[in-house]
Chain A
Amino acid sequence: GAGVSQSPRYKVAKRGQDVALRCDPISGHVSLFWYQQALGQGPEFLTYFQNEAQLDKSGLPSDRFFAERPEGSVSTLKIQRTQQEDSAVYLCASKDRAPSQTGELFFGEGSRLTVL
């Protein structure tokens, strides 16, 4: 596609439910990043992939958060047993080169998660 596509755009979950957020990066982009943006804050790094390899997951807040990119294209961020503090916008971004190479990120519109 022309840009990074994320779905769903909005998700309301009851506390304790599991959610899955999908990211379709720009076609051919090697690197994919997930960021979490709380209300009124800047995005915070969660994890990134180079192709199908998850090279850094140090930003994931807890073991309830899990991300995968099995074929090196589409990625899914899964949150198990959601808590109210998980409410945020989850941004996906991709880049056409390896994470360490120059080149900047293109962000999707984000998935807004509200946990009641």
Chain B
Amino acid sequence: GQQLNQSPQSMFIQEGEDVSMNCTSSSIFNTWLWYKQDPGEGPVLLIALYKAGELTSNGRLTAQFGITRKDSFLNISASIPSDVGIYFCAGRHGSSNTGKLIFGQGTTLQVKP
């Protein structure tokens, strides 16, 4: 099935560092979402973006909906050990009235204390 192109695939950083990951698509989305998934758990919504150009923050997390509607990025500032996990971007097509999401392959984040 179709998936978004998410990068990097994995990151290993020092506690306190900032993190940036992004997602691109060949098609336009009208919604971009960022989820975090811990081992053995379901994805948990971090940030939702509904408008091209929108920049939204949730604590140390900041995400942007690209102007072209084909990309989005997520930044995490001052990382801490509990940020460890897999981060997924997800998009919803503008032409879709189904509400179903298309997910990226995930970015695995590891934080060294």
A interface residues, Cβ below 8 angstroms from B: 4, 31, 33, 40-45, 48, 55-56, 59, 91, 93, 95, 98-102, 104-110
Contact = CB atoms under 8 A, between A and B. Distances in A.
A102 B102 contact: no
Given A48-B100, A99-B100, A42 B106 contact: yes
Contacts of A42: 3-4, 6, 88, 90, 103-106
Q: 3 smallest A-B Cβ distances: which pairs? A: A42-B103, A99-B99, A107-B42
B1 interface: yes
B63 interface: no
Contact of A107 (B6, B44, B97, B102): B44
A113 to B, nearest CB: 14
Contacts of B101: 43, 45, 105
Contacts of A91: 42-43
A48 B1 CA distance: 16
Contacts of A107: 35, 42-44
A101 B98 CA distance: 9
Nearest to A55: B98
Contacts of B21: none
A17 B102 CA distance: 30
A44 B3 contact: yes
B88 A109 contact: no
B78 interface: no
A42 B5 CA distance: 11
B1 A43 contact: no
B48 A108 contact: no
Nearest to B33: A104
Contacts of B40: 109-110
Contacts of B99: 31, 33, 48, 95, 98-101
A107 to B, nearest CB: 3
Contacts of B106: 40-42
B68 to A, nearest CB: 21
